Chains A and B, each alone.
Chain A
Amino acid sequence: MGRNRFQGRRPKKGADTYQRTLISRTQLNTARGKRFYWTALTIALVLASLVFIGPLFWMATGGFKTSQELVRNPPVLLPSHPSTHAFTLAWDRLGMAQLLWNTIVYAGGALLFQLIFCVSAAYSLSKLRPIFGNWILALMLASMMIPAAALVIPQYLTVLDLPLVHWNLQNTPWVIWLPTVANAFNVFLLKRFFDSIPNDLLDAASVDGAGPLRTLWRIVLPMSRPILGVVSIFAVVAVWKDFLWPLITVPAHETLNVGVNTAATSMPDNALVGGLFLASIPTIVLFLFFQRNIMAGLTVGGVKG
């Protein structure tokens, strides 16, 4: 409801209102300007497609080629005798189904834990305002200054033998899930968003007898959908892209990244290339599906980061 109202106020893209950029529109509307514009656009489109889709195309067709065809000089654009043999070989040899499943479990769990713990922490810091809250927030934010790779050693030793309870988390999903909660950026993003929700609304809920959990669930969360989307995408992408941490902590249940790298040396070239493509398909599909949200999230994250 509220969202639609705001959208209505935003100036529409169209002929009447336009954003003046580096080169003015009058300049582009001259005959020479038009020719220049269309040439530049064509070059940009061809170049960008070549640079960013070209490798993917090469990967996809490479899987259909034989190994000799793959490395032939000069390169062949399309396989002469396309065969799916390399793909099935890659699927089996890599254990792709298992790798994919592991990665999905890690990413899904990380998402769930981050949503539960980061949201409730941010809610508490923003609206319940506990004693020492500002100190805790400061300590969390300070951890953003620490480069992740520098802390890998003590983190690894910690998950081998968790303090007080002495659990060994190695090779369990917990070792991926729990550390992702310690994400100051998420807490910060969420807290800032919650800060912008008027307190009157929460007070009204409290007068109506709603406890903090109910207020969070019924009022704060429904209003926070955009930011929850952003945090969710960050959470999934981070697990999806991580390499060093899963490499050392879950060697028995590898992620897609680690598994593909481990198997890379022992595979025929065309099978490996086919495997790389198979490994990329889920992300490409997911990305094309969610690209609008991802782009929106990126600008929020980038500008406020």
Chain B
Amino acid sequence: MAYALATERLHDGTEQGRGSRPAWKALRRAAGRNLRAHAFLFGALVCFALFTWYPMVREIIMSFQRVHRGQTTWVGLGNYRQITADPEFWQAWGNTAEFTALALVFGFAAPFAVAIVVNEFRHAQGYLRILVYLPVMLPPVAGILLFKYFMDPGFGLFNQGLHFLHLPTSQWLASKSTAMPSLVVVSTWSNMGTATLVYLAALQGIPGDLYEAAELDGCSVLQRIRHVTIPQTRLILSLMAMLQIVATMQMFTEAFVLTGGGPEGSTTTVVYLLYNYAFSYNKFNTAAALGVIMLLVLACFSAIYIVLERRGGED
């Protein structure tokens, strides 16, 4: 493009002629302009190259290599075979899928419902918005550790509350079957603020006449949600779903802080396994293979999303 710009100038120079502005001068000016523009780009380019593009390539290369006593050898798919042979690998993907699915159901429905309700209020909207968003701003570890107390099977507030209501109590984080859902509760509490505010903004953009028309057509409140609210916010809903899938599939902090992957590996997520391979077992190359697998899986999700979006747009 800049080349085109340079030749354009060149052309101008010759056409205006008069010999006062030789062609090479215009070329040099274009080069100078480009140099200056790239100087402005330099800092960001170096950072992108060092911390994104190079690691990306390096991860793929690493995943086919193994390092033994400082000697790097190519092992082909060896690392991939090793990681897929580990029963923890399949368990971790199962756990991650469970977390993602649950977090999607809760983390998706809860903020949307809250946003719809809050949007109806004419009072205290600002206060409610601040409340919902407050946990998002806390240092995550503080919010997460707090739930360790609430979820204690013995003295925890949750069980005391359930007991008070004569409901069966739960082992929460201590049992294999409830550990993952408990993490979903923590994660939803601390993260739902963002989605809620985004939905609120989207809801406020819906033209009121649509509701008016739906009401005149005899739609009940639920039908109005179904036929007006959801179609009108479809774009932002699907985008948030996509972002949430990608974010929840990378869950690590909650599991690391609250359960340490237990009990019996029931909360070991894929990122947790990756962390273990690299920093507990010192197998960086196997961890890199796992990273590549993760990239591929998430790329598939992105691809599916893009295809669905395209198809949705054609309708």
* A293: Cβ under 8 A from any B Cβ: no
Other than the known A49-B131, A58-B149, what 15 A-B pairs have Cβ atoms closer than 8 Å?
A22-B224, A41-B121, A124-B38, A128-B40, A131-B2, A146-B295, A148-B250, A150-B292, A152-B274, A153-B284, A157-B58, A257-B141, A264-B257, A284-B138, A298-B197
The secondary structure that dominates the A interface is helix
The answer to whether B41 touches A24 (Cβ under 8 A) is no
The secondary structure that dominates the B interface is helix
Q: What separation, in Å, do the CA atoms of A23 and B220 have in the docked complex?
A: 10
> Which residues of B in the span 65-115 have a Cβ within 8 Å of any Cβ on A?
none
> Which residues of B in the span 187-207 have a Cβ within 8 Å of any Cβ on A?
189, 194, 197-198, 201-204, 206
State the A residues within 8 Å of B (CB): 19-24, 37, 40-41, 44-45, 48-49, 51-53, 55-56, 58-59, 62, 70-75, 116-118, 120-121, 123-125, 128-131, 133-134, 136, 139-140, 143, 145-159, 162-163, 178-179, 181-182, 184, 187, 212, 237, 240-241, 243-244, 248, 256-258, 260-261, 264, 269, 272-273, 276-277, 279-280, 283-284, 286-288, 291, 294-295, 298-299, 302-303, 305
Interface size on B, residues (CB 8 A): 103
* B1: Cβ under 8 A from any A Cβ: yes
Q: Given the interface contacts A20-B208, A44-B118, A153-B287, does A55 sit within 8 Å of B137 by beta carbon?
A: no
The answer to whether B211 touches A291 (Cβ under 8 A) is no
The answer to whether A21 touches B119 (Cβ under 8 A) is yes
The answer to whether B134 touches A56 (Cβ under 8 A) is yes
Q: Given the interface contacts A23-B221, A52-B132, does A151 sit within 8 Å of B208 by beta carbon?
A: no
* B13: Cβ under 8 A from any A Cβ: no
The answer to whether B142 touches A260 (Cβ under 8 A) is yes
* B21: Cβ under 8 A from any A Cβ: no
Q: Given the interface contacts A124-B41, A178-B50, A243-B252, does A48 sit within 8 Å of B121 by beta carbon?
A: no
The answer to whether B209 touches A20 (Cβ under 8 A) is yes
Task: Sort A-B residue pairs by CB-CB distance and give the 7 closest, nearest first.
Answer: A20-B208, A130-B37, A302-B198, A121-B44, A128-B37, A124-B40, A154-B55
Q: What separation, in Å, do the CA atoms of A62 and B212 have in the docked complex?
A: 50
Q: Given the interface contacts A243-B141, A272-B145, does A44 sit within 8 Å of B198 by beta carbon?
A: no
* B173: Cβ under 8 A from any A Cβ: no
Q: Which of B122-130, B174-182, B307-315 contacts A (4 or more CB under 8 A)?
A: B122-130
The answer to whether B149 touches A117 (Cβ under 8 A) is no
The answer to whether A155 touches B51 (Cβ under 8 A) is yes
